């Protein structure tokens, strides 16, 4: 009886193996609807198509479903700036950091820079250092804050400050590369390499250009019969993520308002002044009536209330997860610290920009090529070199001609009266002719917008429509930042 059972099991096993072999031999490939040729079939050329089309959500990010909204002022313009006239626009879906970038996050960045560049390129590390002396004030005692805020563990979950717009952009670029490197390691394509130094460090652009090898564990199979059997990851594989970057002003304002929790069948129930319904205290939960929903200055000399009954509980900054998130799940989109956005400041931006993803600050670039038409070798820091596009290569284009479009319709020749017209021909940057920086204006092409009220601001600036500006190389004790990422594909997430 036992022998008979073994015989049956043996026959079943052989039959199963036979079925697998037949299945492999008769494998059906998806075919192109336009040519009829198979996809992913090495027998006919190996054109590869991935079925993984949904974009993954990067570490720390929250999905922001886009839509239309009224961008700009939501209350009286007490400052008489007239720089945020209400206008209906549409913002595409995107991703944004759940919180402001913390001291802990920035210290991780500084540590990596020191480990990779500290010996041979110490200027890179120095360039990234926040200005810890922004806490000093001629008539206020803040020495311990200047000494301890960035490095003391008690402040590790507080928002980083003293970071300029330029430093914030560099952080975003670094974060892109570290996230993508970790993805390749987690997928078993690369091994961890703690010995990266100088130009021998993972950079997403350099990897895609074939200029970074790393410690390879197992490359992807190459279905191209003319290939080497394996290949590097390509962007078409939907493995690597797009760039982390600063949000545009429109994106930041849209995300702060959080109208996704305040609409019914495309009808906005209540146009919000702040990132929540109502006033500056909690009114929608009986267990939290009257509690402050943001960290701000209630009035002159009142940063946190009276001892024994502190209103917002923070004299300066507060932890990034303090208070309640808005309807997108974003924390501190009003108060705590103001935040850098990508845009160059112009007082009339709301009138000039398009009504889909409005943004002022485009400088169109391309990867620099060598004499053979190949991407130029990466620089000494491991970065692919970019350069501005030229007018000559864009002759015949209808959508743009030149690289620098910062002053388009507000500072270029079409909007500037020049006495000697020919004297300024060839000068692409004519902003100074309209805005005399340092004389009659503080506006130039290096002046960037920051949004949201901070711990030192009164309630007026908590409105997402409020906008202010500062030079991109300057920093303060009340401006931080958070990162964003473009949403690729459909404006909604697959369920």
Which three-class secondary structure state does DSSP give residue 38? strand
Q: Helix, strand, coil: what percent of the chain each, to 5?
A: 25, 15, 60
pLDDT at res. 27: 61
pLDDT at res. 167: 98
Q: Which residues pair with 469 in a beta bridge?
A: 449
67-71 and 484-486 beta bridge pairing: unpaired
Predicted confidence band of residue 333 (pLDDT cuts 50, 70, 90):
very high
Eight-class DSSP state of 43: G
* pLDDT value at 139 more than 90: yes
- The domain spans of the chain are 61-189+233-361+445-486
Least-confidence region, from 339-353, 356-370, 373-387 = 339-353
- Count Cβ atoms below 10 Å from residue 123 Cβ, excluding itself: 9
* pLDDT value at 131 more than 80: yes
Q: List C-alpha distances in Å: 473 to 20, 136, 166, 359, 388.
A: 64, 18, 6, 20, 21
pLDDT at res. 343: 98
CB 444 within 8 A of CB 469: no
Q: Which residues pair with 64 in a beta bridge?
A: 94
Cβ neighbours of residue 26 closer than 8 Å, sequence gap 6 or more: none
The architecture of the domain spanning 61-189+233-361+445-486 is Alpha-Beta Complex (3.90)
Tokens of 459: 């309630």
pLDDT tens for each residue of 205-220: 999 999 999 999 999 9
Instruction: Return d(Cα 378, Cα 212) in angstroms, integer.
Output: 9
**Virtual CA dihedral for 288, 292, 293, 299, nearest 10 degrees?**
160
Tokens of 384: 């692919």
CB 359 within 8 A of CB 250: yes
Q: What is the maximum alpha-carbon separation in the chain?
A: 109
- Count Cβ atoms below 10 Å from residue 119 Cβ, excluding itself: 10
CB 339 within 8 A of CB 452: yes
Angle at 472 between CA 470 and CA 476, to 5 degrees: 60
Over range 447-466, report the average pLDDT. Answer: 95
Tokens of 25: 């031999």
pLDDT at res. 411: 80
pLDDT at res. 263: 86
CB 220 within 8 A of CB 40: no
Which H/E stretch holds residue 468? strand 467-471
Eight-class DSSP state of 464: T
Tell me phi and psi for residue 115, to 5 degrees.
-70, -35
DSSP E strands, 18-116 = 61-64, 67-71, 87-91, 94-97
Greater pLDDT, 78 or 91? 91
End-to-end distance of the chain based on CA atoms, in angstroms? 53
pLDDT at res. 12: 46
Instruction: Return d(Cα 158, Cα 320) in angstroms, integer.
Output: 6
Helical segments of 386-492, H only: 431-434
Query: Which among 116-125, 342-351, 389-398 has the top mean pLDDT?
Result: 116-125
375 sits in the region (left: phi over 0; alpha: psi -120 to 50; else beta) called: beta
479-480 and 338-344 beta bridge pairing: parallel
Tell me phi and psi for residue 216, to 5 degrees.
-80, 130
Instruction: Return d(Cα 241, Cα 480) in angstroms, integer.
Output: 24
* pLDDT value at 9 more than 70: no
Predicted confidence band of residue 237 (pLDDT cuts 50, 70, 90):
very high
Percent of the chain past pLDDT 90, that is, above it, reads: 72
Instruction: Return d(Cα 295, Cα 428) in angstroms, integer.
Output: 43
pLDDT at res. 283: 59
Q: List C-alpha distances in Å: 413 to 2, 48, 267.
A: 95, 48, 42
464 sits in the region (left: phi over 0; alpha: psi -120 to 50; else beta) called: alpha
Which H/E stretch holds residue 341? strand 338-344
Tokens of 231: 């290949």
**Virtual CA dihedral for 130, 132, 134, 136, nearest 10 degrees?**
-170
CB 109 within 8 A of CB 128: yes
Cβ neighbours of residue 339 closer than 8 Å, sequence gap 6 or more: 100, 252, 450, 451, 452, 479, 480, 481, 482
Predicted TM-score (pTM) of this structure = 0.90
Tell me which residue of 237, 142, 129 sits closest to 475, measured CA to CA: 129
Eight-class DSSP state of 400: -
């Amino acid at each position: 009886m036992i022998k008979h059972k073994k015989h049956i099991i043996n026959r079943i096993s052989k039959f199963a193996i036979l079925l697998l072999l037949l299945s492999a031999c008769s494998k059906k490939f998806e075919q192109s609807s336009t040519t009829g040729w198979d996809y992913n079939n090495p027998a006919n050329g190996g054109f590869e198509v991935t079925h993984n089309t949904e974009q993954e959500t990067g570490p720390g990010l929250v999905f922001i479903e886009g839509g239309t909204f009224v961008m700009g002022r939501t209350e009286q313009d007490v400052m008489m700036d007239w720089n945020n006239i209400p206008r209906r626009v549409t913002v595409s879906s995107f991703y944004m950091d759940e919180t402001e970038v913390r001291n802990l996050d920035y210290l991780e960045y500084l540590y990596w820079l020191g480990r990779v560049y500290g010996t041979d390129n110490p200027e890179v590390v120095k360039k990234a250092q926040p200005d810890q002396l922004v806490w000093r004030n001629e008539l206020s005692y803040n020495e311990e804050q200047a000494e301890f805020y960035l490095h003391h563990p008690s402040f590790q979950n507080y928002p980083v400050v003293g970071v300029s717009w330029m430093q914030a952009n560099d952080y975003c670029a670094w974060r892109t590369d570290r996230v993508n490197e970790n993805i390749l390691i987690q997928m078993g394509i690369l091994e961890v390499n703690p010995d990266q130094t100088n130009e021998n460090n993972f950079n997403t652009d350099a990897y895609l250009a074939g200029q970074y090898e790393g410690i390879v564990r197992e490359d992807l199979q190459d279905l191209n019969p003319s290939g080497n059997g394996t290949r590097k990851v390509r962007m078409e594989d939907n493995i690597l993520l797009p760039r982390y970057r600063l949000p545009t002003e429109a994106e930041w304002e849209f995300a702060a308002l959080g109208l996704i929790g305040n609409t019914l069948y495309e009808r906005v129930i209540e146009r919000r002044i702040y990132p929540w319904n109502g006033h500056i205290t909690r009114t929608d939960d009986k267990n939290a009536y009257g509690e402050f929903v943001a960290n701000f200055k209630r009035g002159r000399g009142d940063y946190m209330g009276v001892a024994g009954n502190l209103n917002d509980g923070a004299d300066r900054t507060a932890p990034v997860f303090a208070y309640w998130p808005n309807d997108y799940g974003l924390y501190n989109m009003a108060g705590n610290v103001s935040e850098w956005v990508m845009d160059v400041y112009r007082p009339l931006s709301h009138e000039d920009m398009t009504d889909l993803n409005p943004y002022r600050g485009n400088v169109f670039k391309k990867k620099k090529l060598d004499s053979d038409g190949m991407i130029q070798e990466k620089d000494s820091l491991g970065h692919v070199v970019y350069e501005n596009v030229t007018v000559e290569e864009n002759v015949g284009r209808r959508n743009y001609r030149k690289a620098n479009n910062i002053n388009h319709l507000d500072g270029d020749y079409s909007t500037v009266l020049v006495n000697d017209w020919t004297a300024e021909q060839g000068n692409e940057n004519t902003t100074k002719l309209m805005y005399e920086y340092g004389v009659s204006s503080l506006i130039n092409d290096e002046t960037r917008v920051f949004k949201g009220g901070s711990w030192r601001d009164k309630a007026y600036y908590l409105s997402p429509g409020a906008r202010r500006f500062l030079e991109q190389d300057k920093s303060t004790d009340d401006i931080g930042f958070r990162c964003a990422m473009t949403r690729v594909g459909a404006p909604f997430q697959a369920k």
